[in-house]
Every structure is written in C-alpha cells, then in structure tokens.
Amino acid sequence: MSTNRFIQSFTHVPKELFRLNTGAAVRLRAQPGPVRPQRSFDLLTAAGKVQPKALDPASYEWPNGASMRPNSAGQQNLVRTFRGSTIYVYAVPAGSFPPILKSLVQNLSEHFIGTTLPDDLILVHEFGDHYSLQARKEMTVEGNIVL
C-alpha cells in the first residue's frame, strides 16, 4: 500500500496548472491492480476500470491520475531535464465560480473564464506542488483519456 498523500481535493482548478507530456495526446499509464508494479505508472485498474480513490482522504492511494504542477521550480526543472525528442506542456487555467451565482447563469462557458471540472473528474493536491487529475466516478481507461 502507498503512503497517504492527500492534502485537499477540488472540483475546479485552484491555480494555473501544467501537464508535461511526451505527445499531443495525454495517455495515462494504466496497470492492472491490485499489485503495484515496480516500474512507473499513473493509475491502477480493477477489472479494466479506473476507480475513484480521492473521495475518502483517509483511504486515499496514489498515484491515480494525470500529474500536474503550477509554474514552480519543480515544474521548470522537469521541463529542463526532460529526455526525449518531443515535449508538450499543457496549461490549464485557474477557475472557480461562486455556487450562489451558478444558478443565475445558464451557460457558464459564456460567462466564465477558468476551469471547472466535469462531474466525473476531481483534482487532488497530493503533496508540495504536485496535483493529480483523477476519476471521480468509475470509468474505463478510454474514458480517462479525456484528461
């Protein structure tokens, strides 16, 4: 079992975050669970499905999603030391919308700048400057590609 690395979870992006990727499409490295492999991976699956693990902080297990970081020294170092021929850095803008106003606005995309997550995703602040975009509901690995 992994060490619990759960600081806080969000249904919106609380600050601008960046995803470092080796290609244009974000593809998470899924491994069949429950045994944790020796090599790097992004999430464990159960019967081919990604499980929501961030709903109860007390039983949280990492990793379970797409790693993201703010424009920090750690993120900049990852970009500088990246090995490979192609690197993509995706930016996700910060955003939140006061709940009291949600009922007043019919189409948030026309009135809101920033990123509110869809109902099936959750963002977890795991440690330091590290965040993880994860499944909030059970989904297939293919469904997780929308990350």
Q: CA nearest 92: which of 15, 17, 24, 10?
A: 17
Q: Indicate the SS3 state at residue 42.
A: coil
Model confidence pLDDT, tens digit, residues 33-57: 888 888 888 888 899 898 898 888 8
pLDDT of residue 144: 47
* Cα distance between the two ends of the chain: 25
- Residue 38 within any structural domain of the chain: yes
- Residue 19 within any structural domain of the chain: yes
Q: Indicate the SS3 state at residue 18.
A: strand
- Residue 138 within any structural domain of the chain: yes
- Residue 90 within any structural domain of the chain: yes
- Residue 110 within any structural domain of the chain: yes
How many whole angstroms separate alpha carbon 120 and alpha carbon 1? 25
Q: Containing domain of residue 21, as a range?
A: 8-144
As for how many domains the chain has, the answer is 1
Model confidence pLDDT, tens digit, residues 4-42: 678 899 988 989 999 998 888 888 888 888 888 888 888
- Residue 3 within any structural domain of the chain: no
- Residue 137 within any structural domain of the chain: yes
* Residue 141 pLDDT exceeds 90: no
